[in-house]
Every structure is written in C-alpha cells, then in structure tokens.
Amino acid sequence: MQKLFEIKNVRVYDKINYDSIEIFSNQTTFIIGGSGTGKSTLLHLLNATISPESGEILYEKKPLEQWDTLELRREVLLVSQQIYLFDGTIEENFERFYKYRKTPLPSKEKFRYYLALCMADLPLDNLCAKLSGGERQRVYLAIFLSFQPKVLLLDEPTSALDDKTASELFENLIALRKEKENTIIVVSHDQQLKEQFAEEIIRIGRDEQ
C-alpha cells in the first residue's frame, strides 16, 4: 500500500497532539476516539483548512506547506459537519458551487446521478430550504462528491440519517471509491458503519466505545 498522508509530531491549538499517523491510499479509513481528542481537527489539518503549530504533515510525500492550497483542496475535499446550502433549488446549488470553484458545469444527468448515489433522488427544482435535515445532508454530500476528489474527507456524514439509509449510502460510496480508486477518510460515531465498512481504523486519544 502507498502512504497518502504522514503526520509527524503535530500539535495544534496548544492542546491536541498527533504523534505519528499514517493513512494509506485507495481505501476507507475511519478515525475514532473520545470527545475532544481531535478527530474533526485532523480532517481540517489534512486539507490545510487549519495549520499545525508544530510538526509536519506530508501528502503524497510532500509537506503540505509546499502544496498550492487551491490545488490541494481540489484533490483533498472536506465535507464538514456544518451543511451550507444556498437559497434556491438543488440545481441552483450545484451551479453556485461549481461557479465558486471555477469548474465546468456537468450535465443535469450527472447531478441526478450523484444525488441518487447519495440516496437523495430528488427533483432538481426542489427548494433546499424545504428539505429535511437528512435530505440537506445528502444533497450537500452529492454536490461535493460530484467534484470527484482524489481524497474525500467526511465529518459525521450520516449524523442526520437512519441506520438503513446510512448503510445504503456508504455501500454506494465504497463502490464508487473502488471504481475510481480514490480514498475516503471518515470521522463517525456510528459503530455499525465502522464495523461494516472500515478497511483501516485510526484511534486518537482514548478509545471510544
């Protein structure tokens, strides 16, 4: 297996430490640990949303500070817990995100494909303000997934979903990951998802039961 990320003696916020972590490419890695141990913070470090106070993070054997930030975040895409959708329809949200990233707009069929893959098979003219919390979470994920990043960072991606929907969603994500040979890194409290889909588990701080 090829090392994708290497975290060496990283400290952030003057209280969170990561001694030595290795994450490998082309697999699904779950990050677990107790509350406050820095699971979500680690995801933000991996795509340079925040910077460490000390230590080193390598992506594809190159220090993060040597990467162009925009290039890095196109390859290493973070889907955070905070869901932000613009006012307007689902289709308009796809368009706004693509405009923001200055990326060519795909077809409506592609929009529908990623919505269905994320268990959000909804009409494109549905208003996002009228969607349920779970629907908003899935639409948000579909938009990010449609950018086809090399690395997808997911922070509690199924927190608003029931167990059945969460499992079916992850089955689709894993199938796509294998097809595209990319990498998924997940922070999740869902024990069932971890047991069913984790190919690698990284424990941070004290274990979470």
pLDDT of residue 208: 41
Work out the number of other CB atoms within 10 angstroms of the CB of residue 19.
Answer: 10
Determine the Cα–Cα distance for residues 79 and 117; give it in Å rounded to an integer: 16
In tens digits, the chain (209 residues) has pLDDT values of 899 999 999 999 999 999 999 999 999 999 999 988 999 999 999 999 999 999 999 999 999 999 999 999 999 999 999 999 999 999 999 999 999 999 999 999 999 999 999 999 999 999 999 999 999 999 999 999 999 999 999 999 999 999 999 999 999 999 999 999 999 999 999 999 999 999 999 999 754 43
Q: Reduced to 3 states, what is the DSSP secondary structure of residue 185?
A: strand
Determine the Cα–Cα distance for residues 150 and 28; give it in Å rounded to an integer: 12
Q: How far apart are the first and last CA of the chain?
A: 28
Determine the Cα–Cα distance for residues 191 and 32; give it in Å rounded to an integer: 10
Cα 147 to the chain's mean position, in Å?
12
Indicate whether this model's pTM tops 0.85: yes
Beta strands in the chain (DSSP E): 3-12, 16-24, 28-33, 54-59, 62-63, 76-79, 151-155, 183-187, 200-204
At 171, list the tokens: 């089955």
Amino acid letter at 77?
L
pLDDT of residue 1: 81
Tell me the pairing of strands 28-33 and 183-187.
parallel
Q: Which residues lie across from 3 on neighbouring strands? A: 24
Q: Which residue has the tokens 């449609």?
A: 146
